[in-house]
Amino acid sequence: MRNEELLFEKSSAGRKAYSLPDLDVPAEKIEKLIPKELLRENLDLPELSEVDVIRHFTRLSQKNFGVDTGFYPLGSCTMKYNPKVNEEVAKLEGFTDIHPYQPAEEVQGILELLYNFEQYLCAVLGYDAFTFQPAAGAHGELTALLMIKAYHDDNLKLKSQNSKVRNKIIIPDSAHGTNPASVTMVGYEAVVVKSNGRGNIDIDALRKAAGEDTAGLMLTNPNTLGLFDEHIVEIAEIIHKAGGLLYYDGANANAILGYCRPADLGFDVAHFNLHKTFATPHGGGGPGSGPVGVNKKLEPFLPIPRVVKQGANFKLQTKNFKKSIGRVHSFHGNINVIVKAYAYLRSLGAKGLKEVSENAVLNANYVMNRLKEYYYLPYDRICQHEFVISAKWQKEKYGVKALDIAKRLLDYGFHPPTIYFPLIVEEAMMIEPTETESKETLDEFCDAMIKIAKECETDPEKVKNAPHTTPVRRLDETKAARELNLRWQPGA
Ligand SMILES: Cc1ncc(COP(=O)(O)O)c(C=O)c1O
């Protein structure tokens, strides 16, 4: 495969990829407008023809793997197809050519959209209000924890001086890594509770952990094992009885839409990743959005400004929210992402949303059942939108690891699943097919996984040295993460 040179390396003096009309602003005028010290004679930019540039970027795009080119079962990430109509809607001038500093009367359209989207999300997920400011799931977690803290601080003011400060957040050992990180960022302490043999939270351990210093519990349900915690009602009772609040990490809500509302399960606050469940692009195609929903207990603490409706008009209100935690984002969040998610929700409607969850769960259970004969399945029960299998057998018998199987999948044209997460399953492979895949695609993927399981027996070295057909082979992932350097420097 050809080695793609950098544009700087391809550059040839005098080539250009543009044709502009002659400058019709007098030179003296430019000098007046732009101070001399800010003007440059030369810019060290590559010089190329238009066709050079087009071919370079087209070739690079062909080396990329995206959900538009193939099956992408990256567990916990919900790499579902992003319908193109959402992009068209977000490109409408009425959304792109406005500015957050414009007076409310000039931007009624977007304010109405934000207001309506809030109402829809409240209906689907059971909350009383939402903020759209958080720019990602982890940012939503931080926002929610700040509100939980503000709530407890507010309560403490009303109580006796001897009341205990609530400074601990309970999280299960299957939690996403951002959960303990967010807990630490707000100055709380994370208390980890183990999961039991069925993949649920261990209720006895939870009872022991909950107490008068508990600020709350963070839970993903279905959890990162793809399993719905069967004791959620009891869990909510334990935490509420201890005086804590329940936080729902709903980054990935693909299994519950139209079937179960986190607020009804007892979760006081929750975040949802629009860039997962609500089909907006993520990964390199971001940015994201992690709206946070709250019940009445936490509504006074929501970030400001909030969109309110007065008569037939919409406005942004900052006053009358004295307990608000303030702003967590400039302006109102990643508005363009919200518009795409709104378009997605409106195009599906209530029936379509239910079908999303039905098919996401059906697809995951189909793939799990086809693969469980070939890979170790630690929790053999009905899964939700994803499931976790393990390369434990392959490692013990042939020395082949989950990483090797993931790399070998690339040779078969599939993006690998998430590996080594959740941490409680050794050699974990977390598979999330999503609802947008056909049975044919799922079967092709299962056939490839089964073939690889057989290769582990017959030719383990082939799997250990995979991939064989990709533009680059095994990269030094640790170096890439720890010594990230994306800046080109001449002669470096
Ligand atoms: C369960 C869970 N929680 C939280 C997050 C964090 O979301 P983000 O990556 O948008 O910060 C993720 C993302 O992978 C997740 O899967």
**pLDDT more than 90, % of the chain:** 86
Q: Is 243 in the pocket of ligand 1 (CB under 6 A)?
A: no
Confidence band for 40, pLDDT divided at 50, 70 and 90: confident
Say whether both 402 and 451 belong to one domain.
yes
Pocket test for ligand 1, best of 176, 274, 276, 292 (most atoms within 8 A of CB): 176
Query: At 444, which CATH number?
Result: 3.90.1150.10
Pocket test for ligand 1, best of 273, 275, 276, 388 (most atoms within 8 A of CB): 273
Ligand 1 centroid–CA 235 distance in Å is 22
Ligand 1 centroid–CA 255 distance in Å is 16
Q: Is 293 in the pocket of ligand 1 (CB under 6 A)?
A: no
Q: In the prediction, which pLDDT does 23 show?
A: 86
Ligand 1: atom nearest CA of 76 is: 16
Say whether both 332 and 239 belong to one domain.
yes
Say whether both 192 and 338 belong to one domain.
yes
Average pLDDT over residues 278-290: 87
Say whether both 247 and 305 belong to one domain.
yes
pLDDT per position as a tens digit, 90-99 = 999 999 999 9
**pLDDT more than 70, % of the chain:** 98
Confidence band for 398, pLDDT divided at 50, 70 and 90: very high
Ligand 1 centroid–CA 290 distance in Å is 9
Say whether both 275 and 142 belong to one domain.
yes
Q: Is 251 in the pocket of ligand 1 (CB under 6 A)?
A: yes
Task: Give domain status of residue 491, yes or no.
Answer: no
227 or 23, greater pLDDT? 227
Query: Is the confidence at residue 465, as pLDDT, over 90?
Result: yes
**pTM over cut 0.85:** yes
SS3 233: helix
Query: Is the confidence at residue 464, as pLDDT, over 90?
Result: yes
Say whether both 386 and 330 belong to one domain.
no
Ligand 1 centroid–CA 25 distance in Å is 51
Query: At 284, which CATH number?
Result: 3.40.640.10
Q: What is the DSSP letter of 136?
A: S
| Ligand 1, atom 7: closest residue by C-alpha | 137
pLDDT per position as a tens digit, 136-191 = 999 999 999 999 999 999 998 877 666 778 999 999 999 999 999 999 999 999 99
**Phi and psi based region of residue 382 (left: phi greater than 0; alpha: psi -120 to 50; beta: remaining):** beta
| Domain interval for residue 107 | 86-347
Say whether both 375 and 464 belong to one domain.
yes
Average pLDDT over residues 251-267: 97
d(CA 135, CA 372): 37
Task: Give domain status of residue 264, yes or no.
Answer: yes
* Phi, psi at 86, each rounded to 5°: -65, -35
Q: In the prediction, which pLDDT does 337 show?
A: 97
Query: Is the confidence at residue 1, as pLDDT, over 90?
Result: no
Q: In the prediction, which pLDDT does 492 show?
A: 67
Say whether both 339 and 377 belong to one domain.
no
Q: In the prediction, which pLDDT does 374 show?
A: 98
Number of structural domains the chain divides into? 3
Q: In the prediction, which pLDDT does 161 show?
A: 64
Scan for tokens 């969109």, then name that residue.
307
Say whether both 337 and 366 belong to one domain.
no
* Phi, psi at 248, each rounded to 5°: -105, 115
Say whether both 32 and 180 belong to one domain.
no
* Phi, psi at 214, each rounded to 5°: -80, 120
Say whether both 326 and 367 belong to one domain.
no
